[in-house]
Amino acid sequence: MSIRPLTLVPALFLASQALAADAPPRTPSAVVAQAPASAWQAVAPDTLLVMTVEGGRRIVIQLAPRFAPAHVANIRALAKAGWWDGKSVYRVQDNYVAQWGDATEKLPLPAGIAADIKPDYAQPLAAAGQAVIPLPYPDAYAPRTGFVDGWPVGMDDASIWLPHCYGMVGVARNLSPDAGTGAELYAVIGQAPRQLDRNIAVVGRVIEGISLLASLPRGSGELGFYTPSEKPLAIVSARMASDLPEAERPRFQVMDVTSQSFADYLRLRANRKDDFYDRPAGGVELCNAPVPVRIQP
């Protein structure tokens, strides 16, 4: 043991690697790698917010109009008006959120943007619109959890909502009853702050570039706001993919949560047992089973 071969280094967490394609999948990653084309669903370009930040790097956010229709309508209009162009990521609080928009909060919103949105933090259960795949493990925050239409959800007997998982995007707001407009957004970059569920509008998730937001320097001001001596990350532009030329649109696919592949993925997320894992947990937390997303092959 005093000398370990270099080739073993990646084995420290080798279990997350895909096995050979002809073996039955034993890990969540292997299930995703082997999932057939039929297990994937295209993401509609009118739900993709494409942000370009300094250095030409890209952050792509998938919006969820089903779960926050009024806020998503605002966000689409804000993107069309170029609201975020020239603005910045101005707050990064460790193990919490990265937040962007107009750091001064002084700029008037573009014409036609609703400023008095009613809280739409949860929807009637019927709004799910299709079968919910249940996650059969106990949860500290919601009576029931599961997945619908590619999204993780919390539920009670009457309503359904998006949870604050890593990478999920919400609408910053002031004290209640203000619900925010969507002009200031944040992404979760730490342990899921699910106490925010149903207290704030969740509008989507970062499907490309979350590591860019999560690795930004933390702000030293109160609540992680950057102080004048700290440099915000400049946003060059933010547009809906549907407003970009065809050739410039990013194309993503989300795993169909009703597919056998997703069932296999969930089962293995909850029960790791392979060359690395000896002891299956027998369960998995809602935010620890992110719905697989990939770039369209």
CA distance 76 to 243: 10
Q: Is 54 in the site for a copy of itself (CB under 8 A)?
A: no
Eight-state DSSP code of residue 270: H
Using CB under 8 A as the binding criterion, the count of chain residues that bind a copy of itself stands at: 80
How far apart, in Å, do the first and last CA atoms of the chain sit? 42
The answer to whether 89 and 123 have CB atoms below 8 angstroms apart is: no
Q: Which is nearer to a copy of itself, 17 or 296 (CB)?
A: 17
What are the tokens at 232?
């915000």
**Which of residues 157, 175, 245, 248 is near a copy of itself by CB under 8 A?**
175
Q: Which of residues 128-167 bind a copy of itself (CB under 8 A)?
A: 137-141, 165-167
Q: Which is nearer to a copy of itself, 45 or 283 (CB)?
A: 283
**Which of residues 22, 222, 246, 248 is near a copy of itself by CB under 8 A?**
222
Alpha carbon of 267 to those of 34, 183, 264, 293: distances in Å? 15, 38, 5, 18
**Which of residues 99, 123, 253, 261 is near a copy of itself by CB under 8 A?**
99
Q: Which of residues 5-24 bind a copy of itself (CB under 8 A)?
A: 5-6, 8-14, 16-17
Backbone conformation region of residue 195, classed left if phi is above 0, alpha if psi is from -120 to 50, else beta:
alpha
CA dihedral sign, ordered 97, 102, 105, 108: negative
Q: Is 223 in the site for a copy of itself (CB under 8 A)?
A: yes
CA distance 4 to 225: 44
The answer to whether 255 and 292 have CB atoms below 8 angstroms apart is: yes
Q: Which is nearer to a copy of itself, 49 or 196 (CB)?
A: 196
Q: What is the DSSP string of 218-237?
A: PP-SGGGBPPTTS-PEEEEE
CA dihedral sign, ordered 296, 212, 264, 23: positive
Question: Please, is 97 exposed, middle or buried when counting C-beta atoms within 10 Å of its C-beta (0-12, 13-18, 19+)?
Answer: buried
Angle at 74 between CA 157 and CA 255, to 5 degrees: 55
User: What residue type is 58 in one-letter code?
Assistant: R
In whole angstroms, the minimum distance from the beta carbon of 268 to a copy of itself comes to 10
Q: Which is nearer to a copy of itself, 115 or 263 (CB)?
A: 115
In whole angstroms, the minimum distance from the beta carbon of 200 to a copy of itself comes to 9
- As a 3-state breakdown, the chain gives helix, strand, coil percent values, each rounded to 5, of 25, 25, 50
**Which of residues 109, 125, 234, 244 is near a copy of itself by CB under 8 A?**
109
Q: Which of residues 177-196 bind a copy of itself (CB under 8 A)?
A: 177, 181, 184, 190-195
CA distance 226 to 217: 9
In whole angstroms, the minimum distance from the beta carbon of 11 to a copy of itself comes to 5
Q: Is 230 in the site for a copy of itself (CB under 8 A)?
A: no
**Which of residues 20, 22, 104, 124 is near a copy of itself by CB under 8 A?**
104
Q: Which is nearer to a copy of itself, 36 or 177 (CB)?
A: 177
**Which of residues 50, 62, 269, 291 is near a copy of itself by CB under 8 A?**
269
**Which of residues 95, 130, 260, 296 is near a copy of itself by CB under 8 A?**
95
Q: Which of residues 198-217 bind a copy of itself (CB under 8 A)?
A: 198-199, 210-211, 214-217
**Which of residues 87, 207, 272, 293 is near a copy of itself by CB under 8 A?**
272
